[in-house]
Amino acid sequence: MVINFNDEYILIFMSMKATAVANTNIALVKYWGKRNEELILPYNSSISVTLNNLFTITTVEFSKNLPHNEFVINNRLLNENEVEYSRIDNFSRIFKKLAGMDLNLKVVSKTNFPIASGLASSASAFAALAAAFNTALSLNLTYEELSKYARFGSGSASRSIYGGFVKWFKGEFDDGSDCFAKQIKDENYWPDFRILVCITSSKEKFVKSREAMHRTVKTSEFYDAWLQTVEKDLDEMEIAINNRDIRSLGLIAENNALKMHATMITSKPPIIYWNSATLKLIKSVLRLREEFKVNAYITIDAGHQVKIITTSDEIDRVKNYLSDIKEVEQFIVSSPGQGVKIVQEHLF
Ligand code: DP6
């Protein structure tokens, strides 16, 4: 059915409301740097795992009866002058254009983990928004299309559309038409895979990842070196996933994350996200591995939180060992999770 959104009668009676839940994802080979900042086109492809237990739930409604847009994020009504407001507004315009309408929009969204602190909250947030818009506006987009549009909210959101292990292809075309993610393996493929998320502080980070990425590309002499090694990391990561080889996967992911941080640390002015707990966690995991032969590997995004890659039979040992680090506010155990889904319970 083709809906004509200019038809007054349909607009009054149709409910253009939907709610979606999206899990966040952690990159095993990171996305770092954009070849086109407007179209959010990355310089390199990336591979991630979508996590259960860490999600955003979002209800959207387009309505003729709304006098203006209303965006409520984690119980806070956004002001029109805020960057987050413009990001959601601009993002919604893509979907309104696809649907051929321009109604005001209400968004209520909740994320169940600390936002803007290096835990990829924008990934789950924009994946949930994209899926909710798709359903509310009856756009019937495919997963690949959803991934492509989610990218405009935040690059990493393109991967949270899918569950399990996911690859986001950088694409070659200038218009970004070949830049979207695909699933490598679903969430049931590796049941023993675990990520231990260590919240070292729930405070917001001092430089947003978008700005950090931009500054690194422009000013770090190590950025080219980063790009030269990523393809190899991607190839080896896919092999490690295919073999369910936790040691290879962990070593590649850890090295890849540290290389990304090396480009940040060497940008001008430098971006150093780590706090003392971050550093203690890194050293403890290295010790766990070297002295006690435990399969545990770190990865860190643009922030101070540490994620530890391990398996179900090692997770308690890792957690017990790290519980001595008193600065860690919270440990969250996570496994490969599902892709985005539509639910029937709305937030308003
Ligand atoms: C370090 O997806 O938040 O987490 O596209 O500018 O919104 P924008 O960036 P974002 O960056 C994520 C960077 C990273 C690595 C990764 O998730 O691949």
Tokens (6 digits) for 21: 């839940």
What is the per-residue pLDDT across 203-239, written as a single tens digit (0 to 9) for each?
777 899 999 999 999 999 999 999 999 999 999 999 9
CA 270 to chain centre: 24
Give the distance (Å) from ligand 1 centre to CA of residue 31: 6
For 24-58, give the DSSP string. Answer: EEEEEE----EEETTTTEESS-EEEEEEEEEEEEE
3.10.20.30, 3.30.230.10, 1.10.150.120, 3.40.50.10860: CATH of 2-189: 3.30.230.10
Q: Which of 156, 165, 208 to mutate to test the pocket of ligand 1 (most atoms within 8 A of CB)?
A: 156
Closest CA to 123 of 22, 248, 215: 22
Paired sense of beta strands 16-29 and 76-77, if any: unpaired
Torsion of CA 198, 203, 207, 210, to 10 degrees: 60
Confidence of residue 2 (pLDDT cuts 50, 70, 90): very low
- Domains in the chain: boundaries: 2-189, 197-334
CB contact set of 70 (below 8 Å; sequence gap of 6+): 77, 104, 105, 106, 107
Could you give the maximum distance between any two Cα atoms of the chain, in Å? 71
- CB-ligand 1 contact for 40 (6 Å cutoff): yes
Superfamily per CATH, domain 197-334: GHMP kinase, C-terminal domain (3.30.70.890)
Give the distance (Å) from ligand 1 centre to CA of residue 346: 28
Interatomic CA distance for residues 268 and 225, integer angstroms: 16
> Is pLDDT above 90 for 297?
yes
CA 123 to chain centre: 3
For residue 265, give Cα distances in angstroms to 33, 72, 86, 126: 15, 35, 30, 28
What is the per-residue pLDDT across 238-284, written as a single tens digit (0 to 9) for each?
999 999 999 999 999 999 999 999 999 999 999 999 999 999 999 99
What is the per-residue pLDDT across 118-141, written as a single tens digit (0 to 9) for each?
566 899 999 999 999 999 999 999
Q: Which of 84, 161, 213, 215 to mutate to test the pocket of ligand 1 (most atoms within 8 A of CB)?
A: 213
**Residue 220 DSSP symbol:** -
- Ligand 1: which atom is nearest the Cα of residue 126? 7
pTM for this prediction: 0.94
For residue 287, give Cα distances in angstroms to 73, 290, 337: 40, 5, 29
